[in-house]
């Protein structure tokens, strides 16, 4: 099978299906908001799911050693990291892990449970802290260059952890080794637990670059024991609806805490989640590489359009979520947000405010190029209407 542009150009009628992305807004709106892709998945994934469905019996599924091993092998082969099988805690989703991390801080570090969060970031970082009733310490990330401020300016007093997004959503930033080392060193100096959400790790757009898992830099036992890494095949291979993720927790005490906490409250991974994850990690690499080429083409289109609109776009090194600064439009929008304004002109984008950046919009470019072109045209027409 060739994963060329023709493969990804094939339109899918998601509006007729059960897609949140496509059902949230009226049919004439082009939905470029929530983070899933409008592409057919790798056929090996579909075949594996069909084979499992044809068994015709769907009782409780045992933990899939095959899926866990496929994830471990993939991370060793592609990123050169060794993950011990006993470090792996299967999870129904990464948001669950973010919440468990915050709950753990509140329980194990009641006096120092504040959590550092670099902002802007995926909104469930903030909601996890709120829901688990711990205080956030927001770190203002820069929108270009190295996003981190000098970490010596941060006050660690009362803090017990840091939730980090690697690569960064919605900044699209691919953290360099030296930036990641700074974060690790800060956590080590201040005895912080570090949760690294690496769900977008497979979506570094410019080959041969890959992202750097924080685990690959955690050389000492002490560093490893403060680190939890959350990975999933869901974003990279477009299977978020299957609900399968992994928390990688080298520290046995933290592992014990995590498994005790979710044992009865959080459902185990759905049996189709196991099947999809195993197929994605084992057989999905050619599809992923084809996808990256397609996303690069879409990125180029959007970059050209944004330049012609004079709207700054963050450098999109990783993820398929572009972040655009529309704050210069605010004086002309009479109280509307840019996302509301573009929605009125037929394109649904995520409002940057939910990620901590009002005036910005997040644009999901993982759709057919023809549809992205149509959305770009609508955005262009909307902007022309302001002139
Ligand atoms: C950084 C990040 N973490 C987690 C998630 C969601 O993870 P899950 O669906 O596995 O809960 C997303 C979804 O967009 C995300 O961007």
DSSP 79-134: H-----GGGEEEES-HHHHHHHHHHHHHHH-TTS-EEEEEES--HHHHHHHHHTT-
pLDDT score recorded for residue 164: 98
Tell whether 239 and 319 lie within a shared domain: no
- Per-residue pLDDT, averaged over 173-177, amounts to 98
Tell whether 277 and 158 lie within a shared domain: yes
pLDDT at 259 over 90: no
- Confirm whether 51 is domain-assigned: no
Tell whether 247 and 121 lie within a shared domain: yes
pLDDT score recorded for residue 261: 79
**d(CA 323, ligand 1 centre) in Å:** 17
pLDDT tier for residue 306 given thresholds of 50, 70 and 90: very high
pLDDT score recorded for residue 241: 97
Quote the CA–CA distance of 347 and 330 in Å, as a whole number: 18
Q: Are strands 88-91 and 245-248 parallel, antiparallel or unpaired?
A: antiparallel
Residue 385 contacts residue 54 (beta carbons within 8 Å): no
The crossing angle, in degrees rounded to 10, of helices 369-386 and 285-309 is 20
- Domain boundary, last residue among 254, 283, 312: 283
pLDDT score recorded for residue 266: 85
Tell whether 64 and 159 lie within a shared domain: yes
Query: Which atom of ligand 1 is the closest one to the Cα of 95?
Result: 11
- Confirm whether 50 is domain-assigned: no
- Confirm whether 48 is domain-assigned: no
pLDDT tier for residue 1 given thresholds of 50, 70 and 90: confident
pLDDT score recorded for residue 32: 98
pLDDT score recorded for residue 157: 96
Residues facing residue 196 across a β-bridge: 164, 229
Say if ligand 1 is within 6 A of residue 199 CB: yes
Best substitution site from 91, 95, 266 to test ligand 1's pocket, by max atoms within 8 Å of Cβ?
A: 95
Say if ligand 1 is within 6 A of residue 121 CB: no
* pTM, two decimal places: 0.98
Tell whether 381 and 264 lie within a shared domain: no
Q: Give the residue numbers spanning the domain of 358.
A: 5-43+285-386
Cis preceding-peptide flag for 340 (omega within 30 of 0):
no
pLDDT score recorded for residue 146: 95
**d(CA 356, ligand 1 centre) in Å:** 16
Tell whether 211 and 273 lie within a shared domain: yes
Tell whether 212 and 267 lie within a shared domain: yes
Tell whether 38 and 125 lie within a shared domain: no
- pLDDT tens readout for residues 320-372: 999 999 999 999 999 999 999 999 999 999 999 999 999 999 999 999 999 99
Query: Which atom of ligand 1 is the closest one to the Cα of 319?
Result: 16
Tell whether 275 and 298 lie within a shared domain: no
CATH code, domain with 23: 3.90.1150.10
- pLDDT tens readout for residues 203-222: 999 988 999 999 999 989 99
pLDDT score recorded for residue 93: 97
pLDDT score recorded for residue 267: 85
Give residue for tokens 């497979």.
202
Quote the CA–CA distance of 122 and 109 in Å, as a whole number: 24
- Confirm whether 261 is domain-assigned: yes
- Domain boundary, last residue among 283, 312, 327: 283
**d(CA 319, ligand 1 centre) in Å:** 12
- pLDDT tens readout for residues 269-289: 999 999 999 999 999 999 999
Quote the CA–CA distance of 29 and 31 in Å, as a whole number: 6
Q: Are strands 159-165 and 114-119 parallel, antiparallel or unpaired?
A: parallel
What token pair was written down for 290? 């084809």
pLDDT tier for residue 258 given thresholds of 50, 70 and 90: confident
Tell whether 279 and 289 lie within a shared domain: no
**d(CA 275, ligand 1 centre) in Å:** 20
pLDDT tier for residue 263 given thresholds of 50, 70 and 90: confident
Number of domains observed in the structure of the chain: 2
**d(CA 350, ligand 1 centre) in Å:** 14
pLDDT at 265 over 90: no
- Confirm whether 20 is domain-assigned: yes
Say if ligand 1 is within 6 A of residue 122 CB: yes
- Confirm whether 226 is domain-assigned: yes
Residues facing residue 228 across a β-bridge: 195
pLDDT score recorded for residue 4: 98
Averaged confidence pLDDT in the chain: 97
pLDDT score recorded for residue 311: 98
- Per-residue pLDDT, averaged over 91-101, amounts to 96
pLDDT score recorded for residue 318: 98
pLDDT at 387 over 80: no
- Confirm whether 49 is domain-assigned: no
Say if ligand 1 is within 6 A of residue 240 CB: yes
- pLDDT tens readout for residues 11-70: 999 999 999 999 999 999 999 999 999 999 999 999 999 999 999 999 999 999 999 999
pLDDT score recorded for residue 90: 96
- Domain boundary, last residue among 248, 268, 283: 283
Tell whether 146 and 294 lie within a shared domain: no
CATH code, domain with 140: 3.40.640.10
Tell whether 133 and 255 lie within a shared domain: yes
- Confirm whether 30 is domain-assigned: yes
């Amino acid at each position: 099978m060739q994963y060329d542009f023709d493969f990804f150009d094939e339109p899918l009628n998601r509006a007729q299906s059960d897609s949140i992305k496509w059902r949230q807004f009226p049919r004439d709106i082009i939905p470029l908001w929530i983070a899933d892709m409008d592409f057919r998945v790798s056929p090996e994934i579909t075949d594996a799911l069909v084979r499992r469905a044809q068994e015709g019996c769907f009782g409780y599924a045992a933990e899939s050693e095959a899926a866990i091993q496929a994830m471990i092998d993939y991370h060793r082969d592609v990123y050169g990291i060794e993950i011990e099988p006993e470090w792996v805690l299967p999870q129904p989703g990464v948001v669950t892990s973010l919440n468990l991390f915050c709950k753990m801080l509140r329980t194990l570090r009641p006096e120092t449970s504040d959590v550092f969060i670099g902002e802007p970031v995926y909104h469930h970082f903030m909601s996890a802290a709120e829901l688990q009733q711990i205080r956030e310490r927001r770190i203002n990330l820069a929108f270009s260059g190295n996003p981190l401020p000098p970490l010596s300016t941060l006050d660690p007093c009362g803090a017990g952890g840091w939730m980090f997004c690697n690569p960064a959503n919605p900044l699209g930033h691919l953290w360099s080794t030296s930036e990641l080392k700074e974060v690790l060193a800060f956590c080590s100096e201040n005895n912080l637990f570090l949760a690294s959400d690496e769900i977008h790790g497979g979506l570094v757009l410019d080959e041969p670059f890959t992202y750097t898992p924080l685990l690959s830099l955690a050389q000492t036992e002490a560093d490893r024991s403060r680190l939890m890494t959350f990975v999933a095949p869901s974003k990279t291979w477009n299977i978020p609806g299957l609900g399968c993720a992994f928390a990688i927790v080298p520290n046995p005490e933290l592992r014990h805490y995590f498994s005790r906490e979710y044992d009865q409250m959080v459902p185990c991974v759905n049996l189709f989640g196991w099947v999809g994850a195993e197929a994605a990690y084992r057989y999905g690499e050619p599809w992923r590489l084809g996808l990256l080429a397609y996303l690069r083409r879409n990125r180029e289109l959007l970059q050209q359009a944004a330049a012609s609109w004079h709207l700054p776009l963050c450098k999109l090194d990783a993820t398929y979520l572009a972040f655009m600064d529309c704050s210069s439009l605010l004086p002309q929008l009479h109280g509307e947000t840019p996302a509301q304004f573009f929605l009125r002109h037929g394109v649904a984008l995520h409002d940057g405010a939910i990620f901590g950046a009002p005036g910005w919009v997040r644009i999901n470019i993982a759709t057919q190029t023809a549809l992205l072109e149509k959305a770009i045209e609508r955005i262009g027409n909307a902007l022309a209407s302001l002139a």
